Amino acid sequence: MSLPSLGTVLVASALLLVLRFVFRKQSPLSRLPLPPGPSPLPVVGNIKDVPTSHEWITYAEWAKTYGDVMHISVLGKSLVLLSSLEAARDLLDKKSAVTSDRPRFTMISDLMGWDWAVQFMGMGPRFRRSRKALHQLLHPQAARDFYGAIRKGTRSLLRDILHDPAHFDHHLRHHSGGMMMSILYGEDEGPVRDQYVVKAEEAVSGLVEAGNVGKFLVDFIPLLKYVPEWMPGAGFQTQARIWRQMARDMIEIPYKNLQAAYDRGIAPPSVTTQLINQELQQSRDGSKDTEFIMGITGVLYVGGADTALSALITFMLAMVLNPEKQKRAQAEIDAVVGHDRLPDFDDRSALPYMEHIFSEVLRWYPGVPLGVPHRCMEDIEYKGYRIPEGATILVNQWAILHDEQHYDNPFDFNPDRFVPQEGASAPLDPREASFGYGRRICPGRHFADDLLWLMLVNILAAFDISKPVNADGKVVEPSGTFISGLVTALNRSCAGLRRGMQTSPAFWSLLNDDVLY
């Protein structure tokens, strides 16, 4: 946790607590107890208990003692931690009218300048406008409009892996981001798109780090945002300033380039072009809301590229550690698709085991293990406890997807758990816990599902995935260690790829063909 000077913390904490006490409103539910949790200390609460790394694992351990609804406080702020699907649905779906707000992310929104991102917006007109635009772009039927770009990007990914398999992890990152840049700005592969991807990766890396609730004390003491950058302990201000510029570069540079092309009448078809047209059509004076357009495209990049990359790397690790599952999926693909073409969306219904592998990838290590926090807008009662107004609500998606009530041996990668069994109920579909709840459910979930499925099935159709080998020819055991952050992923290469010997020369000629689909 980034700590300012002790005096600053104590003064700010005392002032904050006094103000809250003075202006506190009494609720009819105020006599109800708060949910259980670790015992807080006076004034500072559970500040020493809040983990700053891999929080979902700590919270899952706490749930074994305190139950699936827990409460902790930090400097007078309440955090409610949910560790079961039942609690998440009860509080965030059924009571979405009062639990769909977002807490104010002081570090992310105020200091880093991500207030344009709908993921972090509070309820209100801006949020509703943004959600409406995203739904129009990403509802299931509209998502099909992106199939061509997904096919082309997937083919390009396979070609790069074929020619340089040793750096497959770089190719996965490059193409997951590049594919989104092509969809958002119509920019084909090349140095300009590469520049966009680099800028976006820099910005998102800062967001992922700052997204850890508990990472920065300013999120619990908003008054600290006024501490000058030169003060001892105010290093978070310097970091926020750097990350803020990265975020602006990510959304401004591609937009300005496309706008210049639009003004000359040569803008390629893209999401941004579509949004500019819509803004101009709806405007009475020919103006447009540039911040709105940049915000929507920035949101789509963050929601598409980084989470997709996390799932891709998890898939690679799973295939390395479970070669028999890999071979079974490849045999299914060969039987349905053959050796002379690549799998396509129309093949999906005929590849059930591939579908089970995809579901298990989403379950085994979810890319956003704690989701994005909600904020409770008024006191509510739940199972005899009070969920206090203003509380930040976190859903431990990782805990839900490793709950033995839903899955036997949940830490094992086992796609067979999704194979239908006569007389047995189907296990929980991981998508029900992975894409959010209530009015905050991810609007891009259908697009993400399509994009990931095509990339996974094509990688398996084209390559054998095995453990990496070092310069001495010795097999390197993958660590399986995931980085901590709002979005998590493996922290280093976990696999080696080689050309699949079962495929025909005609198959490989497809990847070297300039005509992509």
In a domain, 18, yes or no: yes
pLDDT for res 173: 84
pLDDT for res 20: 54
Q: Please count the structural domains in the chain.
A: 1
Share of the chain above pLDDT 70, in %: 87
In a domain, 516, yes or no: no
In a domain, 198, yes or no: yes
Mean pLDDT of all residues in 193-199:
91
The two tokens of residue 154 are 């997937």
**Cα angle: 396, vertex 398, 400; to 5 degrees:** 75
Average predicted confidence (pLDDT) for the chain: 86
pLDDT for res 265: 94
pLDDT for res 497: 59
Residue 442 marked in a binding site: yes
Q: What is the 3-state secondary structure (H, E, C) of 75-102?
A: CCEEEEEECCHHHHHHHHHCCHHHHCEC
> Which domain, by its residues, includes 43?
6-511
Query: Is the pLDDT at 208 greater than 90, yes or no?
Result: no
d(CA 180, CA 452) in angstroms, rounded, equals 12
Other C-beta atoms closer than 10 Å to the C-beta of 273 total: 19
Mean pLDDT of all residues in 34-43:
93
pLDDT for res 352: 97
Q: Which of 142-151, 265-274, 499-508 has the highest mean pLDDT?
A: 265-274
Q: How confident is the model at residue 336 (pLDDT cuts 50, 70, 90)?
A: very high
pLDDT for res 11: 56
Q: How confident is the model at residue 494 (pLDDT cuts 50, 70, 90)?
A: low
Residue with tokens 């050796």: 339
pLDDT digits (tens, 9 = 90+) for 378-431: 999 999 999 999 999 999 999 999 999 999 999 999 999 999 988 888 899 999
Other C-beta atoms closer than 10 Å to the C-beta of 15 total: 12
Q: How confident is the model at residue 22 (pLDDT cuts 50, 70, 90)?
A: very low
In a domain, 418, yes or no: yes
The two tokens of residue 54 are 């891999």
Query: Is the pLDDT at 7 greater than 80, yes or no?
Result: no
| Helices assigned H by DSSP within 52-188 | 55-66, 85-88, 96-99, 125-138, 140-143, 147-163, 168-185
In a domain, 446, yes or no: yes
In a domain, 196, yes or no: yes
b/e burial code for range 392-411 (CB count within 10 A of at least 16 → b) = bbbbbbbbbbbbeebbeebe
pLDDT digits (tens, 9 = 90+) for 52-90: 788 899 999 999 999 999 999 988 889 999 999 999 999
pLDDT digits (tens, 9 = 90+) for 212-231: 766 788 888 888 899 898 98
In a domain, 160, yes or no: yes
pLDDT for res 422: 85
d(CA 488, CA 314) in angstroms, rounded, equals 10
pLDDT for res 517: 37
In a domain, 424, yes or no: yes
User: Residue 260 sits in a domain of what CATH number?
Assistant: 1.10.630.10
